[in-house]
Amino acid sequence: MFRLLHLADLHLGYHVALPSPLKEEVCRERNGILKKAVDLALDPRMAIDMVVIAGDLFDNHRPEATFVEETIRELARLEAAGIRVVTVPGNHDEITYNDAVYRREAGRWPGILVNAPMPASVAEFTIKGYTCRLVAMAYTGGVTRIDGPLKDFPPAGEGEISLAVFHGSLDWDGGERSLPLDGAALAAAGYDYIALGHIHRGGERRLGKTLACYAGMVAGRGFADPGTGSWTIVTLGDGPARVEGIPAPTRPWQVITVDVTGMGGMEELEAEIKENLTADAITQVRLVGHVGFELDLEVLRVRLEHICSYLELADETEGWAPEVLDKLAAEPTIRGLFVRRLREKLSHAASPQEAETVNRALMYGLAALKGGGGSCLR
Ligand SMILES: [Mn+2]
């Protein structure tokens, strides 16, 4: 058997949306992920024979010169150690442009740099006595012909291990700048393993006897794109392809959703959040549900932000709990009148959008009126 490290969507050079100096620190960490991958591949205990990069190695087609030099140096360490490297351009680091990194550096790029504009058998080589065939393509604007999902794939040969690498979307047309791949046609082609890139959350799929897998983005770049935090290692040649995930040293992007409905006050909320915070994580706390007490996000921030490396608090609550509104509506005050009027409006709302607007007005209005008269809001 032989083993490969499947990488995709590292997006080196991406600028994360965080305040300085954490931003610079996290960017440095993210850009160091390739070196960590190479160190892992060179670790004899991992027994890696090949490294495959399935697109979007860089965040754009013209990365800064220092990233390019570092990347070439890192990939050259693999080649020097006899580990085969395959690089497939993606849609972010697209090969189409004349000044694309993969055109400018093609002459000295370590290993196999794929530039075939349509699915093709691009290389044949031997690893540990196995004959391997590599099928891949690099989406090239104006040259790659796409009218619907790609269906024309060269078939796997007899007595060889066939590995396909694509940066695309399997059975899903993601619109412009997405390369749709036909799952049934890939199943019919009969490859042993398909190394995919483009879908950052990762995931595996069986296509007949073929195992197709998105490695996913290892080091995340935002709360909506938090990264997998794991390396994808594939074993081939010893029965059907097998994939294993092993933990990668990355800083987690963590989203914690806390339902405040039924909570008695700030202390209870603080304790609940505290229990879920992770020391080195970049954290977003989403507060949802109906509030029965006055939320003070500033107080929460001051009390909790030292626990993790970054804390963002998002108030996504739907307004006051009905029992609070009942109490307010009974007040013989302007505020009581305001609540009664808006509740009346709410009961006649013609659409969910209108109800949402009235609900917002109720929240903002109550915030503006707070402090007027004795009530549970004080
Ligand atoms: Mn990507």
For residue 148, what pLDDT is reported?
Answer: 85
What is the CA(219)–ligand 1 centre distance, in A? 12
What is the CA(11)–ligand 1 centre distance, in A? 7
The number of C-alpha atoms within 13 Å of 262 and in the hemisphere containing its C-beta is 3
pLDDT tops 60 at residue 288: yes
What is the CA(54)–ligand 1 centre distance, in A? 10
pLDDT tops 70 at residue 372: no
Q: Tell me how far apart the alpha carbons of residues 223 and 294 are, in angstroms, rounded to a whole number.
A: 27
What is the CA(60)–ligand 1 centre distance, in A? 10
What is the CA(217)–ligand 1 centre distance, in A? 7
The model's confidence at residue 320, banded by pLDDT at 50, 70 and 90, is: confident
Contact 55, 198 (CB under 8 A): yes
pTM (2 d.p.): 0.86
Quote the mean pLDDT of the chain. Answer: 91
pLDDT tops 80 at residue 244: yes
Measured in degrees and rounded to the nearest 5, phi and psi for residue 239 equal 80, -165
What is the CA(209)–ligand 1 centre distance, in A? 27
What is the CA(197)–ligand 1 centre distance, in A? 7
For residue 175, what pLDDT is reported?
Answer: 64
Counting residues of the chain whose pLDDT is more than 90, the rounded percentage is 75
What is the CA(55)–ligand 1 centre distance, in A? 7
What is the CA(349)–ligand 1 centre distance, in A? 43
What is the CA(75)–ligand 1 centre distance, in A? 20
pLDDT tops 60 at residue 377: no
What is the CA(213)–ligand 1 centre distance, in A? 14
**Beta partners for 236?**
2
What is the CA(51)–ligand 1 centre distance, in A? 18
What is the CA(91)–ligand 1 centre distance, in A? 7
Q: Which two tokens stand for residue 124?
A: 């044949």
pLDDT tops 50 at residue 227: yes
pLDDT tops 60 at residue 309: yes
What is the CA(135)–ligand 1 centre distance, in A? 20
List, as own/partner pairs, every contact residues 184-188 make where C-beta atoms lie below 8 angstroms and the sequence separation is at least 24, other chains included: 185/149, 185/150, 185/151, 185/152, 185/153, 186/153, 186/210, 186/212, 188/153, 188/155
Domain ranges of the chain: 2-247, 253-369
What is the CA(319)–ligand 1 centre distance, in A? 37
The model's confidence at residue 373, banded by pLDDT at 50, 70 and 90, is: very low
What is the CA(222)–ligand 1 centre distance, in A? 13
What is the CA(200)–ligand 1 centre distance, in A? 6
Measured in degrees and rounded to the nearest 5, phi and psi for residue 49 equal -105, -15
The model's confidence at residue 332, banded by pLDDT at 50, 70 and 90, is: very high
84-122 tens-digit pLDDT: 999 999 999 999 998 999 999 999 999 999 999 999 999
What is the CA(8)–ligand 1 centre distance, in A? 8
User: Cα 130 to chain center, whole Å?
Assistant: 34
What is the CA(93)–ligand 1 centre distance, in A? 9
Q: What is the mean pLDDT of residues 46-74?
A: 95
The model's confidence at residue 305, banded by pLDDT at 50, 70 and 90, is: confident
For residue 105, what pLDDT is reported?
Answer: 94
140-199 tens-digit pLDDT: 988 888 888 899 999 998 889 999 999 999 987 666 667 999 999 999 999 999 999 999
What is the CA(2)–ligand 1 centre distance, in A? 27
- The residue type found at 346 is L
The model's confidence at residue 238, banded by pLDDT at 50, 70 and 90, is: confident
3-state DSSP of the chain? CEEEEEECCCCECCCCCCCCCHHHHHHHHHHCHHHHHHHHHHCHHHCCCEEEEECCCECCCCCCHHHHHHHHHHHHHHHHCCCEEEEECCCCCCCCCCCCHHHHCHHHCCCEECCCCCCEEEEEEEECCEEEEEEECCCCCCCCCCCCCECCCCCCCCCCEEEEEEECEECCCCCCCCCEECHHHHHHHCCCEEEEECCCCCEEEEECCEEEEECCCCCCCECCECCCCEEEEEEECCCCCEEEEEECCCCCEEEEEEECCCCCCHHHHHHHHHHHCCCCCEEEEEEECCECCCCCHHHHHHHHCCCCCEEEEEECCCCECHHHHHHHHCCCCHHHHHHHHHHHHHHCCCCHHHHHHHHHHHHHHHHHHCCCCCCCCC
What is the CA(52)–ligand 1 centre distance, in A? 15
What is the CA(70)–ligand 1 centre distance, in A? 20
What is the CA(254)–ligand 1 centre distance, in A? 20
What is the CA(137)–ligand 1 centre distance, in A? 16
What is the CA(177)–ligand 1 centre distance, in A? 11
Distances (CA, A) of 197 to 34, 165, 203: 16, 8, 10
Please state which CATH number belongs to domain 2-247.
3.60.21.10
What is the CA(204)–ligand 1 centre distance, in A? 17
What is the CA(198)–ligand 1 centre distance, in A? 5
What is the CA(329)–ligand 1 centre distance, in A? 52
For residue 374, what pLDDT is reported?
Answer: 38
Q: Which residue has the higher pLDDT, 300 or 368?
A: 300
For residue 375, what pLDDT is reported?
Answer: 44
